[in-house]
Structure 1
Amino acid sequence: MIDFSVPASVTALAEEIRQFVTEEIIPFETDPRLTAHGPSDELRQELVELARKRGLLTFQAPTRHGGREPSHVDQAVLYEAAGWSTLGPVALNCAAPDEGNMFLLNKIANDEQSAKFLEPVIAGHQRSVFAMTEPGGAGSDPGQLKTTATFDGTTYTINGTKWLITGATGAQVWIIMADVQENDHGPSGATLFLCEGDTPGISIDRVMSTMDRNYVEGHGVVTFTDLRLPASSLLGEVGSAFRYAQLRLAPARLTHCMRWLGAAARAQSIAVEYAQTRTAFGKPIGEHQGVGFMLADNEIALQQCRLAIWWACWTLDQGQRGRHESSMVKALVSEELFKVADRCVQVLGGIGISDETPIGMIFSDIRGFRLYDGPTEVHKYAIARQILRTERQRS
């Protein structure tokens, strides 16, 4: 039986996180260091220190690394509270891509790699990137990977171009996906590598202009030119990158959903307050059926999304892989929360597209959520394949 009971300790922590975000982080939403390319690293560091002082930093980390190691369902409650501001996850060090990278490194990094690459990210001292997406290459279909790694028996030499690499500028911990070419010294195939951001051969060409501005330092275009890495830079086994990526993606899809649920709930809260105080045609606009129905549709959607997230998280907590479930939830939640944000803009009218409230920013940022970790169409494609595969097995 599915059990969605939330421990009192988790509820209390969520309330503490929500209070922290409301009181200490929301005021930074108008800080000039929140730029068109996202918060600067200087702003991130200031926010991280505020969370550190409150004892809330990286609350999701494993206990062996000083975190609280909440279950997936517990995370759903806590991340929603963190997402009340788009800067909340940045401050609490549970934002993408660092959150997903920490999860992956905790699973497959060896002890030496954990000490060098994982622990500084958990501590909030360094940022990380996951360099997979390519122009005309790997993306929703990682099988189109074009970045290559040649191996001479001692050193891997990586060449290729990546783009939409979130947080590339200033990041020190790099996870790079490259296709190890056939060689006489060992196995080949898509592989993950770990290295430092200042390693010769990594060039950040530019930061892309995008609709969203909630990720630290935005999204970069990166070129690898004869990037030489020793065999000790291998993250896991050669040829296992796709399997490791899926290990990372199922929970990461859900944490995206959790954070954006918090942001959408904030937008709804602002819209409700506005609908109670703004009048038109002799009464508050919320009492007009057109506006009231939009608010009702939002409330229904928010609860549907919340329960769907909890269901998929419960599945993971039972030890299942959750790929099918997380795809269904990502497809549902990303579409529904975008509609919620859009209706909130509509309720506020002209003020909704301004920066007088955070709703316009939430709307622009949440549009990208429909693409993060796979667009809706790719998830539906995977869901359909699973349905057909299951039916064939039954027959």
Structure 2
Amino acid sequence: MTMNRYRLKTRAQKGDRGARLAQGMLQRPDRLIGTILLGNNFFNTLAAALATVIGLRLFPGESGIAIATGALTLLLLIFGEVTPKTLAALHPERFAIPAAYVLWPLMRLLWPLVWLVTLIGNGLLRLIGVSPEEAAQHSLSTEELRTVVAEAGAMIPHRHQKMLLSILDLENATVEDIMVPRNEIVGIDISEPWSAIRDAITNSQHTRIPLFDGSIDNLKGVVHLRRVVRLAAEDALDVKSLLALAREPYFIPEGTPLNQQLLNFQNQKRRIGFVVDEYGDIQGLVTIEDILEEVIGEFTSDPATRIKNVYADADGSYRVTGSVTIRSLNKNLGWKLPTSGPKTINGLLLEQLEHLPQEGVKAEIAGYGFEITEMRANAVKSTRIWPPPTPTATRKAA
């Protein structure tokens, strides 16, 4: 019963006959327990009878029964219960696999008795709302799987553990947590002069560029620069041909979990999408690379670019742009800012203060000190954050 079911399943898949027998019996633990207890109780009763007979012959009278009872209890407790069961619990595979070769034929031999005992026992269990069939299932919840990964130790490299845990975290995050906000979307405004459009294409740092007419709300499509190169080389590129090369935009409803959106990108053969709210207004942009970075980390080895728009100062504070997401701060700096409400530092401060603040306003949220250093267009442009002191720092100061 203490065997690792997943390790047992692996051994069974590799062709270990004893593991297959043990796995088969553990699928119905009620029948296995019935077989074991039938033999256990039979021999315990037989031992009690023999001990009573021997005790009465050696010590006639009630003293013989008392001595036999005490001696048998001690012997059974040490040699029949505590020692063997502790040993088997500490080394389950060493004893369970060989025991399967004995228990399996016993289960078949004693099947009529096992069936009767199991039938009565399961009937009593169902009266109190317990189903033996459901109890035999061993599926892991997300939190249990997270614990298994975290406790794997040296069996799984630390980096791989982080990746597995990040995959499990995808269902707890939505596209708003990682999207590029609409005011930071880099695109091409086709209403501008052609020279400005050509410069934007030439100097672009992205392979896919949104095309819009005057405003991002009037989105025309997304063009891949690889398709533009040929026409540009032939000097046949203009606004009309650029729009002809663009692909229709792909829209993502707000609140979509990251794990679901990753599947949506795969099914739709897309790599970039625009997050829209319930009114159809564009809120931001998400790419498949953004989701993959949530699993494997940033596609860069430079620690300075690990988290954008966050700068550490010598006094222990951090200068943070208001558009930085709370999730990225918590993940990269190990902070514990609340994530159940607003997604960005700007939204968190506005929700906490309940009004448009002025520069220099201070606030404390979940033990973190905030000071607004710059406001722009009714939003917090930048702020300074003091994280709470760590226990180590507190002890040093004391």
TM class, shorter-chain normalised? under 0.3
Relative contact order (alpha carbons < 8 A, sep ≥ 6): 1 or 2 greater?
1
TM-score if structure 1 supplies the norm length?
Answer: 0.25
Give me the TM-score of the superposition, normalised by structure 2. 0.24
